Structure 1
C-alpha cells in the first residue's frame, strides 16, 4: 500500500508512529493502530508499518501471514506508509523518504521484538540527521521467545545500545516495566513516562437482542472428550470453528463459563488453568481460544488427557476480529494465569466487556488491572490457588464493570513526555475517565 498523502508544513505538532503492520498480525498491530488513531485526535500523525517482519517460515503464525483477519483500520487522518520489509531494500529507503517528507517533530518506535532492530536503527539515524526527536515505547524489554535463544539476546543487547544513545524519551506501560528497563539499560538522563495500555474495545459487536438465557436441553448427551476446534483447510479467518453464539447474562449460576483467550506460549500459564479446571465442580465449563506458539503443546496434551475434557472447548487458532466479540459475550469470566507479563491484550478485551477477570499478580498486570472492579488477583504458578480464586470470583458472575483504561490518558502521557523533551505541544485538554465503555452495560452491547 502506498503512503497516504502528506500534510503541508503548517498545523499541529507532527508525530510518526512505527510499529507492526497487519501482514504479521499480533497484539502490537492493534496497539500501533489504536495509538496512532488516538494521537490523531490531537496531533498530525503518520504511521510507518513493519510489513514483512522476518522470513515467513520463521514466524510462529506463519500459516496466516498475509491473510486479512482484522476489522480495525487506521483513521483517515493518519498518513500511513505500508511498509518496511526485513531485507530493507528498497522499502527502508522509501520509509526514510516518507519520514523526510512528513517532517515530524517526534518519531515513536514501538519495541516488542528484535526483528525490527536493524530497521529501527536506520530510522533513528535518519531521524536524528533530520532533527527529529526519537521516542521508544517498550512493551517489554525483550520478547520471551527470543530471550530463550542466546544469539538473539546477544544481538538485541548489542545493537540496541546505539539505538538507545539516540533517543530523547521512553514510554512504558507500568512502573514494573520502568524498573526492568532501567535495570537492563543505561538510560540516565532520558525522561520517561508511564502510559497505561488503552482499551481494546474495537471488535465487532454481535447483533443479538438481549434475552434471558435459553434453558439447556434436558436430554443433551454428554460428550466423551474435549471439543477440539482445529484450523481447517478453508480460508483463514473463516468460521470453520464457529464461535459460541452470544448469550445474555445468566439469571442463575447453574453454569459458569470460563474463557482463556490469547496465544498459547510457555509464559501464559495455560497448563496451570487446565490442571485447576480439572478440580472444579461440574457446572464450570472452559473455552480455550488461541494459536500455539513456540511449539508449546503441553496445554493441548493436558486438555486431551484432562478428567474434565468433556467440559473444555479448544479453538486452537488465531481467530478473526469478527469472532472475538462472540467468545467474550458467551463467557461469564475470563481467566489469565500468566507466569509473567508486562501487558495483556486479552485482559483489555475482557475489561472492555466488563467481565470478571481472574489474573495472576505478575509484572505490569497488577497496575493494568488494579483499578478494575472486576479483578481477582491470584498467585502465579499455583493451580490450587487458581482454582480457589475462580470459585471466589464466581460471586461476580452476572455483574459488569466499567473499564478504567482510556486512550485519552495515553495521549496525555505522550504529551507530558513531549513537553519534557522540549517539543512544542498544545496545552493539555481535559482528560475524561473514559474508554469507549464509560457505563457498565450488559452483553452483547458491551462497548
Structure 2
C-alpha cells in the first residue's frame, strides 16, 4: 500500500515527531511505500510558548520525509493534498491540536476522494479547551473516512463528534516510541540483576511539559502533606506560562527548599542521569489521554506513582511496579507518597519493573490503521 503520513518529524521535538517517524519505519518494514509530509513551520510561536525544534534527532530519521508544510502558506496545503491524493492509497493526518485543523482541511480538500483518509488523534480535544476547539475538531473528523483514537474514552468523544456521518471510529493503544538514549539506559534499571538493591535516594521526579492538567500543583500539596520531610522533588520540563505560580505555591507550603525546577526541554541524552537520581516518577495528572512516560520510567528501572487518569491505570500495576491514586486529590496522592516510602517498598516495586515490549503494540496499531 502507498501511504502518506501528514505530521511532525525531526527537527520537531518530543513524542509527536518520534511517533510519526517510528510509524513510518514500522509501516515500511511491513512492505508499505511510505512518505512523511512534515512541517517546516508547524505552529505560530505565540500559540506554542515552548521550544518547538531540537538540533539532535531523538530517533532514526526516515528517508522519505519532506518538509514543505507551513502554517502561514495556505497555498501549499491544497497542493500537498493533491500530491498525496495522486501518490497514496491511504493518507493519515496526525492530530495533536485544533490549531492544525485549518491546514488539514486544506490538505484533505486537495486529496479529494482519491485516497482513503484517517485522522490519527493523539488528542481528540485539548485538555484545556476553548469553545471553538469543538467546532474545529468536528469539522475535521467529519471529513475523513476513519478516526483512530488511543483509548475507549477518546473513541467515545470522537464518536459523539461524528455521530450521524459515515466516519468510522477505531481504537488502538498508543504504542511505545521512546527516545533513543544511545544505549545509556540499556542493561540498567529494570534489566539489571541489582535493580532491587538500588539505594533509596529520597528523591522523586516529575517529567514532561508542565500544564495545568498535569497536576504539578497537586503534587506539591501532596509532597508537603504526605512524603517524609527528607524527600525532595525535581520538576523537569517546559513550564507553559512560567513557573512563578508553582514556585509561589511551594514557598507557601514551606517546601521551596525541597523542590527543584529544571525548566526547559530535556534532551534524550540527559534522561539517564535525570531518571537515575530518582526513586520514582510521579505522574499526578488530573486528566490524560495516552502517555509514554510510564514506559520511559520503566526503561530506566523506575516505578511510577500515578493517578488513574486516562490510560495510566492500564500501564501501572498498582502495588507491583507502582502505586495509583485518585486524579485531582492531593490527599490521596499524599497517601500514595507516604505508602511508597514505607520500609522496603521502593525496593520491592523497583524489583518488579520490566521494560515494555513494543512489538505487539505496534502490530495491533498498524493493523487498526491499515485494514
TM normalised by structure 2 equals 0.85
Greater Rg by CA: 1
Which of the residues 86, 95, 107 maps onto 1:111?
95
CA distance in 1, matches of 2:310, 2:188: 39
List per-residue Cα deviations over 1:392-440 (Å, max 9, x = no partner).
2341434252244625423433324533xxxxxxxxxxxxxxxxxxxxx
Question: Who is 1:413 aligned against?
Answer: 365
Q: Does the aligned pair in 2 maintain the 1:16–1:48 contact within 8 Å? A: yes
Which of the residues 57, 60, 67 maps onto 2:46?
57
List per-residue Cα deviations over 1:87-137 (Å, max 9, x = no partner).
225543552354256x221111111111111111122222234x2000111
CA distance in 2, matches of 1:123, 1:372: 47
Question: Who is 1:166 aligned against?
Answer: 143
Aligned length: 360
Secondary structure at 1:326's aligned position in 2?
Answer: helix
CA distance in 1, matches of 2:184, 2:136: 49
Question: Who is 1:258 aligned against?
Answer: 204
- Give, in angstroms, the shift of residue 263 of structure 1: 0.9
Question: Who is 1:334 aligned against?
Answer: 281
Question: Who is 1:387 aligned against?
Answer: 334
CA distance in 2, matches of 1:315, 1:342: 25
CA distance in 2, matches of 1:210, 1:178: 37
Question: Who is 1:196 aligned against?
Answer: 173
CA distance in 1, matches of 2:312, 2:303: 15
Q: Does the aligned pair in 1 maintain the 2:2–2:89 contact within 8 Å? A: yes
Any residues of structure 2 matched to 1:13-52 within 5 Å, and which?
13-42=1-30, 43-52=32-41
Q: Does the aligned pair in 1 maintain the 2:185–2:272 contact within 8 Å? A: no
Aligned CA distance change for structure 1 residues 168 and 367 (closer, same or farther; 3 Å): farther
CA distance in 2, matches of 1:337, 1:181: 25
CA distance in 2, matches of 1:204, 1:373: 26
Question: Who is 1:219 aligned against?
Answer: none
Secondary structure at 1:143's aligned position in 2?
Answer: coil
Which of the residues 55, 69, 72 maps onto 1:84?
69
Per mean C-alpha deviation after superposition, the further-off stretch among 256-265 and 366-375 is 366-375
Question: Who is 2:107 aligned against?
Answer: 123
Q: Does the aligned pair in 2 maintain the 1:69–1:319 contact within 8 Å? A: no
In structure 1, stretches of 5+ residues that fail to align are 1-12, 213-247, 420-447
- Give, in angstroms, the shift of residue 374 of structure 1: 1.6
Structure with higher helix content: 2
RMSD (CA atoms): 3.0
CA distance in 2, matches of 1:210, 1:352: 9
- Give, in angstroms, the shift of residue 299 of structure 1: 1.9
Aligned CA distance change for structure 1 residues 361 and 209 (closer, same or farther; 3 Å): closer
Aligned CA distance change for structure 1 residues 185 and 166 (closer, same or farther; 3 Å): closer
Q: Does the aligned pair in 2 maintain the 1:137–1:171 contact within 8 Å? A: yes
Secondary structure at 2:278's aligned position in 1?
Answer: coil
Aligned CA distance change for structure 1 residues 309 and 200 (closer, same or farther; 3 Å): farther
Question: Who is 2:122 aligned against?
Answer: 139
- Give, in angstroms, the shift of residue 142 of structure 1: 1.7
CA distance in 2, matches of 1:209, 1:31: 21
List per-residue Cα deviations over 1:362-417 (Å, max 9, x = no partner).
12333344599523210012222112212323414342522446254234333245
In structure 2, stretches of 5+ residues that fail to align are none
CA distance in 2, matches of 1:135, 1:393: 43
TM normalised by structure 1 equals 0.72
The structure 1 segments of at least 4 consecutive aligned residues displaced by more than 6 Å after TM superposition are 208-212
Q: Does the aligned pair in 2 maintain the 1:268–1:338 contact within 8 Å? A: yes
